[in-house]
Every structure is written in C-alpha cells, then in structure tokens.
Amino acid sequence: MRGSGTVLVIDDENIVRQLARSVLERHGFEVLVAENGQAGADVFRIHRDRILLILLDLTMPVMGGEPTFDLLRAIRPDVPILLSSGYDESEAATKFAGKDFAGFIYKPYDVNRLVEAVSSALGLATEG
C-alpha cells in the first residue's frame, strides 16, 4: 500500500506513537501525534480538514478513548477512527456498540497488521 495524506495517532505510549509514525510515513502518509485525548482533540481542531484517519488508543490518562471518540466526532463526524488497545477487541465492541468506528487493531502493533488496518479503514488496496 502506498498512501498519502495525514493520519493522527493519539496514544499515551511514546513507543507506540513513534512506531506508528515510522510505519505510516514509510507508506507515504504524513503523521501527526498526540499523547492523550485532549491533546489529540486540540491537534484535530487545528488540522481537521486535512486529517484522513485517526488511530485512537482506548486507554489513556487525561481523556480516555471513549470521550475522545465522542469529541472527535463532534468536531468532524465523517472522519474514520481506527480504535487501538492492548486489551481485548470485545471491550471496544462493547463500549463502541452502535458507534461508527473504522476498525480495531490490537497492541502491540504488528507492522503488517497496522498497514492492513489503515488501508482497510481508508478503502485502499494493500500490496501483496
């Protein structure tokens, strides 16, 4: 997959943000990062028109995934939001039932799975 455009990664773990940035930049994306939900919402407000996708961690200090998701949707309802967690996917399915999220990726990220999840969320074809 060769992408283009901007992806926002919201995660409290620096190593996760840096891995996602490295992988996605290698595949042609510009990547913005934020260390918690409040900072992510602030970045999104500034860059809302150019962000194609948000990769959102569910468990963070300051503002967790669920209130962040709702705030991001209030800012721009059509943005695809890919949920991420080190916990089970069923947690996301339960908390976000009825909400339109673009998918789920389990942490720690497998590079290929991250690329596939982003590609799928954006409707891009993967190479392979």
Residue 121 lies in a domain: no
pLDDT at 13: 95
Quick check: is 122 in a domain?
no
Examine residue 38 and state whether it is found in any structural domain, yes or no.
Answer: yes
> Which range of residues forms the domain containing residue 101?
6-109
Over residues 118-123, mean pLDDT: 92
Half-sphere exposure of 59 (CA within 13 A, CB side): 9
Residue 58 belongs to domain with CATH number: 3.40.50.2300
128 pLDDT band (50/70/90 cuts)? very low
Q: What integer pLDDT is reported at residue 126 of this predicted model?
A: 58
Q: How far apart are the first and last CA of the chain?
A: 9
> Would residue 102 count as lying in a domain?
yes
Q: Is residue 116 part of a domain?
A: no
Whether 119 maps to a domain, the answer reads no
pLDDT at site 100: 86
**In the predicted model, what is the mean pLDDT of residues 4-33?**
96
Q: Could you give the C-alpha distances from 88 to 66, 91, 121, in angstroms and in order?
A: 15, 6, 19
The answer, yes or no, to whether residue 124 has pLDDT greater than 90, is no
Q: Are 75 and 46 contacting, i.e. CB atoms less than 8 angstroms apart?
A: no
- Is the residue at 90 inside a domain? yes
Please indicate, yes or no, if residue 40 is contained in any of the structural domains.
yes
pTM here?
0.92
How many domains are contained in the chain?
Answer: 1
